[in-house]
Chains A and B, each alone.
Chain A
């Protein structure tokens, strides 16, 4: 985990709670993968062998296991995740607020008011998003567990098909990570800085409305607000466009891998090394590895965007740790 995040969690005293939540939540995806892959294999076996009674039993079993799994997952989210988020938000805002109150007027003036507003609102939201929102840290860990265990299972089932799947995936992954998405964090940081300027202009428009009327400068300030708002949108759109390109490449690599797997899979079936049910199980695990890589990638991108808020919070409350 990022050092900045660990530091923030320790300062807020929710470190253990978060760890428990993470451990409880981690097995969800891999358990879901195992259930789906094995039951798909069973279904095909039973259909081919015309075992209708067993098929129905398995369908019911599949629904029951899925319901239990999703029920478990939901209870983890609704009890621990929500509580942790609320607790973290409350503690972070309190820490920042206390820090602001402790500052001397000189220290206070070293940051603009927009900085303080952004810290209390947007940065706290970012920090909580990093830890508990979908496609952030939590999903990255879950996807990582799923990727590693699905890969191990696939290697045991058929190394060749696993290698084909991975070979179709890795080039696109590195192309995305090393070329296309590198600037996403940069764009997000610029959007955040622009948000501070935007908040400053909003403050001016509210605080100085009398003078702005007297000096006929309302339109002038409104144009500034519009300009900053447009700049935020532009930076976010640049980041969004890069994410779209990445997603398109993943979709392409997914389809390519699937086709190659089917081509080679049909040969393997002809060689009697496996049957259709076995191949279906393999494709199920392969799709889990692709989904996991995609999830890790999206999560890392979102985390890179959210970490900007965590860094800014640590800059404000970090002094406490040292003192």
Chain B
């Protein structure tokens, strides 16, 4: 981690959040530094994914303040982050459109993204390359291919903060390895908060935090 980047990029103060009578965070404070890679673990249902949604500005804490890269407005927070979830969002569009989601991406940049995520190994074999229409039957994609598209989308956004919500939990061992390689490209020099129950994926992370009983702790 670069010393001059050693500032807090996410600051949560006295955050309380409950979901359907279940307390996820009870007056908790935390801070994550720029460029820091944080692993989040916890029992099933402990609120790991909810915590990520709070950080992404998708949920609002019932009390306390949250600042992400000096922003507290949820709409502005969302612009600062990229997110890769357990189930990749694949739409009835071409591979290119699935990555760009309506944004203009130059050809050179798109080629870089495709290579970085190793999608080229697959798309080069398709007659229409990345302009192949995934159609309504996007479920036919393999988990690895779908997840690589999701990672490519996150790289295209080029946000400083990457939130990962068990992106490899539904993949087999070989695919996990490939997807993790793609994730390394995405997370290089970025702040990462990675929710997972596969603790071996968190090797080399700066900190591992646990969520449970309304607390977040090391």
Interface string of B165-182 (1 = CB under 8 A from A): 000000000000000000
Contacts of B83 in A (CB 8 A): 210-211, 214
Interface string of B122-141 (1 = CB under 8 A from A): 00000000000001111110
Contacts of B202 in A (CB 8 A): none
Within 8 A of A (CB), among B70-127: 78-79, 81-83, 85, 89, 91-92, 101-102
* Cα distance, A204 to B157, chains bound together (Å): 20
Q: Is the CB of B78 within 8 A of A214?
A: yes
Q: Is the CB of B137 within 8 A of A109?
A: yes
Contacts of A109 in B (CB 8 A): 137, 139-140
A196 adjacent to chain B (CB < 8 Å): yes
B73 to nearest A CB, angstroms? 13
* Cα distance, A217 to B138, chains bound together (Å): 18
Q: Is the CB of B102 within 8 A of A214?
A: no
A112 adjacent to chain B (CB < 8 Å): yes
Instruction: Report the tally of A-B residue pairs with Cβ distances under 8 A.
Output: 58
Q: Which of B82, B135, B138 contacts A214 (CB 8 A)?
A: B82
Q: How many of chain B's residues have a CB under 8 angstroms from any CB in A?
A: 22
Contacts of B85 in A (CB 8 A): 210-211
Main secondary structure of the interface of B (DSSP, over half): mixed
* Cα distance, A211 to B81, chains bound together (Å): 11
Asked, given contacts A109-B139, A110-B137, A210-B53, whether A216 binds B92 with beta carbons under 8 Å apart, the answer is no
Within 8 A of B (CB), among A66-114: 108-112, 114
* Cα distance, A159 to B89, chains bound together (Å): 70
Q: Is the CB of B92 within 8 A of A208?
A: no
Considering only CB atoms, which chain B residue lies closest to A110 in the complex?
B137
A250 adjacent to chain B (CB < 8 Å): no
Q: Which of A114, A221, A223 contacts B136 (CB 8 A)?
A: A114
* Cα distance, A141 to B137, chains bound together (Å): 40
Which range holds the interface residue count of chain A? 20 to 34
Q: Which of A111, A204, A220, A223 contacts B89 (CB 8 A)?
A: A204
Contacts of A214 in B (CB 8 A): 56, 58, 78, 81-83
Contacts of A216 in B (CB 8 A): 78-79, 101
Q: Is the CB of A200 within 8 A of B101?
A: no
Contacts of A111 in B (CB 8 A): 137
Interface string of A129-142 (1 = CB under 8 A from B): 00000000000000
Q: Which of A110, A196, A200, A210 has the most CB of B within 10 A?
A: A210
Contacts of B81 in A (CB 8 A): 214
Q: Is the CB of A196 within 8 A of B89?
A: no
Within 8 A of B (CB), among A192-232: 196-197, 200-201, 204, 208, 210-217, 219-221, 223-224
Contacts of A275 in B (CB 8 A): none
Contacts of B136 in A (CB 8 A): 112, 114-115, 196-197, 200
Q: Is the CB of A201 within 8 A of B137?
A: no
B37 adjacent to chain A (CB < 8 Å): no
B153 adjacent to chain A (CB < 8 Å): yes
* Cα distance, A201 to B81, chains bound together (Å): 24
Instruction: Write the residues of chain A forming the contact surface with B, with a CB cutoff of 8 angstroms.
Output: 108-112, 114-115, 196-197, 200-201, 204, 208, 210-217, 219-221, 223-224
